[in-house]
Amino acid sequence: MGKIICCGLGPGDPDLMSVRAAREVRGARHIAFFRKKGHPGQARRIVEGMLAEGAIEYPMEYPVTTEVPSDSADYVRLLDGFYDEWAERLVMLASDNDVVVLCEGDPYFYGSFMHLHIRLQGRAEIEVIAGIPGMAGCWNSVGRPIALGDDVVTVLTGTLSEDELVRRMRNSDALVIMKTGRNLDKVRRALASAGRLADAWLIERGTMPGERVVRLSDVDDTDCPYFAIVLVYGEARRMKAAE
C-alpha cells in the first residue's frame, strides 16, 4: 500500500526546498506534476537534475488553458474531467507504490494540488510537505522585512474587483498581491487609487534564474511579467524593542 506525497517545492530555487521535500523528490520512483501542454512546466523545471535514474514521470497536462473562457460550462466540464481522471490514476498508482506530486510554493496556500486533494480524500493515504510560499521567496528577494511589530499583512488576488482591491489596499500595512498576470493593470490602478503605488514592488521569477525586482511604477504598460507577485512593505507599526 503506497501513499501520495505532495511535495511543496518552495519559491523556485531548488536550494530553498525543504530537506524533507528534496529527499522525497530524489528518492521518488513515480513523480507527477501539472503543466501546460507543450511546456516543460514550472514545477518540473525546479527539480531538474534531481530525479533518480529510472524515475517514471507523469506530466498532468491541462486539457485547456486560455483557449476556452474559464467561466464557460465547457471549460469547467473539461477541467473537472481532467482532475477526476488524474485522481483515479494516482489512486491506482498508489495502490502499490509511493507517488510524489510536485507543487510550487506551499501546497496549502492557493495550491493547484488542492483540486486533487479534495478528490483523493478517503481513497488514498496523502502526505503534504510544506514549502516556502512563493510570496516569502519574493519578499526575501527585496531584502527588507515585509512585516514587523503590529503590522497587518493582507494577501489579495489580482482577480478581485478593482473596488474591493482599492478598499483593502487602503486598509493594510503590508500587502501581497498574488495572481497578477493579466490583472496587472487593474492592480496598478487600484494601488494608485489607494495611494500605495509609489511603495509597490513587482517581483518576477522570485529566487529563480531571470529574477527581476523592480518598482511597480517603473514597469511598462505593455510588459507582461510571468510568475510575478506585487508587494507593499509594512512600516513596523508599534514595533517594540522586545521583538
Q: Which residues contribute to the site for a second copy (CB under 8 A)?
A: 10-11, 13-20, 22, 62, 65, 70-71, 75-76, 78-80, 83, 106-112, 114-115, 117, 128-133, 136-137, 139-140, 143-157, 159-160, 168, 172, 207, 236, 238, 240-243
Q: Minimum distance between the CB of residue 79 and a second copy, rounded to whole angstroms?
A: 3
- In the bound state with a second copy, the residue whose beta carbon lies nearer, of 98 and 222, is 98
The amino acid at 163: D
Q: Minimum distance between the CB of residue 220 and a second copy, rounded to whole angstroms?
A: 27
Q: Minimum distance between the CB of residue 189 and a second copy, rounded to whole angstroms?
A: 18
- In the bound state with a second copy, the residue whose beta carbon lies nearer, of 133 and 225, is 133
Strands 228-232, 174-178: parallel, antiparallel or unpaired by DSSP? antiparallel
- In the bound state with a second copy, the residue whose beta carbon lies nearer, of 90 and 160, is 160
Whole-angstrom Cα distance, residue 118 to residue 114?
6
The alpha carbon dihedral of 103, 108, 114, 117 has a sign of: positive
- In terms of Cα–Cα distance, which of 104, 114, 117, 98 is closest to 27? 98
Cβ within 8 Å of residue 148, ≥6 positions away: 234, 236, 239, 243
Neighbours of 54 (CB within 10 A): 6
236: which 3 cell numbers?
513596523
Q: Minimum distance between the CB of residue 82 and a second copy, rounded to whole angstroms?
A: 8
- In terms of Cα–Cα distance, which of 167, 150, 27, 171 is closest to 100? 27
Q: Minimum distance between the CB of residue 188 and a second copy, rounded to whole angstroms?
A: 19
- In the bound state with a second copy, the residue whose beta carbon lies nearer, of 20 and 186, is 20
- Residue 191, SS3? helix
- How many angstroms from the chain centroid is the CA of residue 61? 17
- In the bound state with a second copy, the residue whose beta carbon lies nearer, of 54 and 242, is 242
Whole-angstrom Cα distance, residue 212 to residue 180?
15
> Do the beta carbons of residue 142 and residue 237 sit within 8 Å?
no
Q: Minimum distance between the CB of residue 148 and a second copy, rounded to whole angstroms?
A: 6
- In the bound state with a second copy, the residue whose beta carbon lies nearer, of 96 and 103, is 103
